[in-house]
Amino acid sequence: MALSEFTVSDVVPGDRRSPTAWVLSHALRHKWALVTFFSGAFVNAALAAAIPTLVGVAFNLIAAPRPDFQALFWAAVGISASQTVRAIWQLGRNFSAELIGQRLERDARAELYASLLGKSMTFHMLRPVGEIMARATNDVRELNLMFNPGLNLVIGSSNFLLMPLFLAPTIHPQLLAVPLAFVVSFVLAIRRYMNELNPVTERVRASFGRLNAGLEEALEGVETVKGAAREAEAVERFEGDVRAWRDAYVRQGQIEARYLPFLFLGLAIAFGLLHSMLLFQAGQINSGQVVSFNFLLLLFGFPTFISLTAFSQISSGLAGGRRILELINTETELDHNPTGYAGTIRGAVNFEGVSFAYPGHEATLTDLTFDVQPGQTVAIVGQTGAGKTSLIRLINRTYDVTGGSVCVDGVDVRDWNLEALRQQISIIEQDIFLFSRTIAENIAFGKPGATQAEIEEAARAAQAHDFILSFEKGYETVIGERGVTLSGGQRQRLALARAFLTDPRILILDDSTSAIDSATEDQIQRAIFRAAAGRTTFIITHRLSQIRWADKILVLRGGRLAACGTHDELMQTSEAYRRIFARYT
């Protein structure tokens, strides 16, 4: 099983060796529903086959010189009773199939969602969000449809194939020839059909994923598209993705149009009628048996017509399952480490010979070594691309070092219980993300059980309380995704309030005051100063006021530590720091 940053105890994983094994492992959790499903399928076919037999008997009774109306009545009763029982079993079978399909979709979505949350940031950086969304929604839905109506119809129709094989020889042994020839040719044709169809349905699912990814990217960057007046190019790219999806579907339709079982069904009915009439002429079967046999051959119509769409649905479902399982089985570099160290953080941070590189790229950080004592405030400065954000992401194991070690309180972060580590570290990113929920829910995101008083206290500390009350619904105001209904400064103050509420032992601010105006800066500065008291704080900033009061300043240059010390020390000893400081002045 792949490593995971995150685990959920009530999400039971399936057998991940193959898509078929994975689907079966989820379906087999509902054994009684499966028993009802399979028994219902057999009873349905058996009682459907009762009609030709009883109709043949009735035909002989009517054609007799002196019709036996009492026997004819009981034949009619038999047909009615058999179809009533058949309808009841059909209800149970369809209900069971729908139940299994819905629960399969539910369990698969839960397993996939938990798996996605457990993937490292490296995984999410390399995967288009829209493509993941296509798998989490459309492909998971295909699993449900694969079972019902897909497998439901295939299993049900398969039993219809068996009934003529069982009952035709009871009329006359020679009458087995046509049904047997049809079943053999049907199975071979379906095998060829599926071998041809499977890669095409894979293309359909993949092209839909690319279509969704392109759509998500266009909508996410719609402001950039409009700003550059590139709407026509965006439409052309989208239409290209749509054409690829359409072409894959057209190819699937071409394969379905050459569906040979339709031809075999027509031949079976024609040769069956001819064979039965020859036996009737020879006096080996009576007219009622001719009727019964040809009615039995008509049972082949259900599996023939239904398998055209049902097998296509199964192929799409397996293709979707393969794509979902590929996501789940993708290895991630980070492990939740549930048995790891889970103590209370004091705040000591140590970098020892740390190097880091993103997958497929040159080293972002090289040979960093420094110590931070509990309660110290550390400012990180450097030019764009110097590795400042990469450095802070190593502290809470958003990424793992590629060389050296990062220790918190003397324990390598890789030996910490990841949940315990991250719960005590709060990061306010430069790119603030707020959920499409109320302001109160956004502030309390890291502490779901927070009271209204605690939420308001955190908002006051972040200088957010006053602007929140200016909204008509106050703390119950629903904001858009990424806080699009708020200004940049308002978003950052809400993010500060969210961080203050969790009372972290290590606070990390990644240029989090960049969008705050000068009038608010002093208030925010005091709020951060109060928040930093008693906890280790890392600040990536270009604000001179924040750099000055830091206990330690790290100067990064080209991914290396160019200098380390206080402001006064660095002004005297570091040319790199003086140049940076001069640029900020």
pLDDT in tens, 200-212: 888 887 888 788 7
Pairwise pLDDT comparison (144 vs 518), residue with the higher score: 144
Domain termination site, one of 329, 363, 391: 329
**What's 411's domain CATH number?**
3.40.50.300
Asked if residue 174 is part of any domain, the answer here is yes
Q: What percent of the chain has pLDDT over 90?
A: 26
Asked if residue 560 is part of any domain, the answer here is yes
- Res 526: pLDDT: 67
Closest CA to 62 of 361, 373, 392, 286: 286
* Burial class for 306, CB neighbours closer than 10 Å (0-12, 13-18, 19+): middle
Q: Are residues 356 and 265 in the same domain?
A: no
Q: Is 485 helix (H, G, I), strand (E, B) or coil?
A: coil
Asked if residue 492 is part of any domain, the answer here is no
Question: Looking at the predicted structure, is the pLDDT value of residue 158 above 60?
Answer: yes
Per-residue pLDDT, averaged over 148-157, amounts to: 88
**What's 201's domain CATH number?**
1.20.1560.10
Name the helix (H) or strand (E) containing 304: helix 301-329
Q: Are residues 276 and 415 in the same domain?
A: no
Which range of residues forms the domain containing residue 513? 349-424+504-584
Tell me phi and psi for residue 563, to 5 degrees: -165, 160
Closest CA to 502 of 434, 422, 578: 422
Rounded to the nearest integer, the mean pLDDT of the chain is 85
- Res 10: pLDDT: 59
pLDDT in tens, 509-564: 887 555 556 666 666 666 677 767 778 999 888 777 778 778 899 999 889 998 89
Q: Are residues 275 and 415 in the same domain?
A: no
Q: Are residues 57 and 112 in the same domain?
A: yes
Domain termination site, one of 329, 362, 378: 329
Pairwise pLDDT comparison (430 vs 380), residue with the higher score: 380
- Res 1: pLDDT: 47
pLDDT in tens, 27-67: 899 999 999 999 999 998 989 888 888 888 888 778 777 77
Q: Are residues 408 and 263 in the same domain?
A: no
pLDDT in tens, 254-300: 888 888 888 999 999 999 999 999 999 998 998 888 999 999 999 99
Q: Are residues 263 and 374 in the same domain?
A: no
Pairwise pLDDT comparison (339 vs 175), residue with the higher score: 175
- Res 546: pLDDT: 74
Q: Are residues 270 and 408 in the same domain?
A: no
Q: Give the number of other Cβ atoms within 10 Å of residue 224's Cβ.
A: 11
Q: Are residues 267 and 414 in the same domain?
A: no
Under DSSP, the state recorded for 40 is: H
Q: Are residues 295 and 391 in the same domain?
A: no
Indicate whether this model's pTM tops 0.85. Answer: no
Q: Are residues 419 and 277 in the same domain?
A: no
- Res 523: pLDDT: 63
Q: Are residues 134 and 276 in the same domain?
A: yes
Per-residue pLDDT, averaged over 336-361, amounts to: 88
For the chain, what is the domain count? Answer: 2
Asked if residue 579 is part of any domain, the answer here is yes
Asked if residue 510 is part of any domain, the answer here is yes
On the CB side of 272, CA atoms within 13 Å amount to: 30
Asked if residue 14 is part of any domain, the answer here is no
Pairwise pLDDT comparison (453 vs 217), residue with the higher score: 453
Q: What percent of the chain has pLDDT over 70?
A: 91
- Res 265: pLDDT: 92
Kindly list the strands in the beta sheet with 411-412, ordered across the sheet, starting from the edge strand earlier in the chain.
Answer: 363-372, 349-357, 403-408, 411-412
Query: Do residues 255 and 203 lie in contact, with contact meaning Cβ atoms separated by under 8 Å?
Result: no
Asked if residue 61 is part of any domain, the answer here is yes
Q: Which residues pair with 544 in a beta bridge?
A: none
Q: Are residues 358 and 302 in the same domain?
A: no
Domain termination site, one of 299, 329, 359: 329
Name the helix (H) or strand (E) containing 512: none
| Structure tokens that stand for 521 in this block | 């800066």
Asked if residue 224 is part of any domain, the answer here is no
Under DSSP, the state recorded for 253 is: H
